[in-house]
Amino acid sequence: MNKLVLWGILITAAMLGFTYMAVGGSKGGLNNDIINILTIAAAVVLVIVTVFVVIKYVRQMQTDTATGELADENWDGIGEYKNELPMGWAILFLILNIWAIWYMLMGYPVNAYSQIGEYNEDTKAHNAKFEAKYASITGDALVDMGESVFLAECKVCHGLTADGIDGKAANLNQRLEEKSVKHVVENGSNFLGFPAPMPDRNGLFNMNTGALITDAEIAAVSQYVANGMKGEGAEIFTGTCAACHGADGKGMEMVAPNIATFDIATVKAVLDHGKKGAIGVMPSFDRLNEKQKEAVGAYISSISK
């Protein structure tokens, strides 16, 4: 027997042996399971066919001689024949190209079923149903819904009573803390999706005096806003802030938010865009639908002074 065939038989036997061991022998996967037995049978055929096809070509390489016209270039005596590309190969190459384009665009990768896609569609459908079902609820029912959203999503940071857990998050029982107002006036703010940002202290002029806002004025107006628009600082507010936030601080649509009280629009803006301020980072909440945002806005408006 030829040495090559002997090697083939040895390799085949070794591969089959390993396969047999890998499936756990006669006590394992082969035991009475028709699918496993078929799989193993297919593996056996594959191993045998592969080994003997390889042997056939190795043999051919050992004995083949080539004829034809050599190209001029050769590298250390190794040259190339000027053979035509076989027509079959060329056709196969073109077909494979077309198939590859089809596969990318219409076959699996682009057009594939995706769990994430299905999840997103389910969520969208659920939210549409949810919003249709609860579209008409208002008043106390809306506040109740908001409370349950709050307890599920916001309590971890803002605390059961929304007091902000010792300064970890904003205390939502009051519209703004003094240090938050001060932080915004000194640094400006551009989180909430208004067309123009809130300028920082180098852009805040007192209309009455025409001068830039001073440290003393910042302190006074911050206290005034944090106090629920009461106390000293009223004049500074009128002169410097009212042009955007309104005389009563309740904001103007598309210009500036309500800083006197919480309202649904303000809470929604915070939930849509998130916020980074004197206290920390408030994440945005894409996973809540519009009705849930409205509800939690109503809840916060109801508990805050």
Closest approach of ligand HEC to the CB of residue 300, in Å: 6
Among 234, 278, 302, 303, binds ligand HEC (CB under 6 A): 278
Residue closer to ligand HEC (CB basis): 143 or 241:
241
171 binds ligand HEC (CB under 6 A): no
Number of residues binding to ligand HEC, judged by CB under 6 A: 49
User: Considering the rule CB under 6 A, would residue 145 count as an interface residue with ligand HEC?
Assistant: no
Q: What is the footprint of ligand HEC within residues 239-268 (CB under 6 A)?
A: 240-241, 243-245, 256-257, 259, 266-267
Residue count of the chain:
305
Residue number, 55 or 157, with CB nearest to ligand HEC = 157
**Is 107 a binder of ligand HEC (CB under 6 A)?**
no
Q: What's at 109, amino acid-wise? A: P
Q: Can you tell me which residue has the tokens 């029912």?
A: 141
Given the complex with ligand HEC, which of 145 and 213 has the nearer CB atom?
213
Closest separation in Å from C-beta 285 to ligand HEC: 5
Nearest to 194 by CA among 137, 153, 244, 241: 244
Binding mask 179-218 for ligand HEC (x = CB under 6 A): -xx--xx---xxxx-x-xxxx----x--------x-----
How near is the Cβ of 26 to ligand HEC at its closest, in Å? 58
Query: What value, to the nearest 5°, has the Cα angle with vertex 251 and ends 245 and 255?
Result: 75
Question: Long-range contacts: 247-250, Cβ < 8 Å, 24+?
Answer: 249/225
Q: Residue 279 corresponds to which amino acid?
A: I
Q: Can you read off the two tokens belonging to residue 142?
A: 């809306």
Q: Name the residue nearer to ligand HEC (CB basis): 37 or 303.
A: 303
Residue 167 engages ligand HEC in binding (rule: CB under 6 A): no
Q: Which two tokens mark 171?
A: 């205390």
Please, are residues 201 and 212 in contact by the beta-carbon 8 Å criterion? yes
What residue type is 299 in one-letter code?
Answer: Y
Contact indicator for 241, 247 with CB cutoff of 8 Å? no
Question: Measured from the CB atom, is 23 or 289 closer to ligand HEC?
Answer: 289
- Return the residue matching tokens 């919003």: 131
What single-letter amino acid sits at 172? L
157 contacts ligand HEC (rule: CB under 6 A): yes
Rounded CA separation 232/223 (Å): 8
CB of 274 to ligand HEC, least distance (A): 9
Place of tokens 């659920």: 126
Let me know the angle formed at the C-alpha of 123 by 122 and 129, rounded to the nearest 5 degrees. 90
Region of 61-69, 75-83, 124-132, 167-175 interacting with ligand HEC (CB under 6 A): 167-175
Instruction: Give me the least distance between CB of 249 and ligand HEC, in Å please.
Output: 8
Q: Please name which of 291, 289, 269 lies closest in space to residue 124, comparing C-alpha atoms.
A: 289
Cβ nearer to ligand HEC, comparing 29 with 199: 199
In sequence order, which residues have a C-beta less than 8 Å from that of residue 272 and are 6 or more positions away? 193, 284, 285, 293
Whole-number Å distance between alpha carbons of 254 and 134: 27
Q: Name the site residues for ligand HEC (rule: CB under 6 A).
A: 153-154, 156-158, 169-170, 172, 176, 180-181, 184-185, 189-192, 194, 196-199, 204, 213, 221, 225, 240-241, 243-245, 256-257, 259, 266-267, 270-271, 275, 277-283, 285, 296, 300
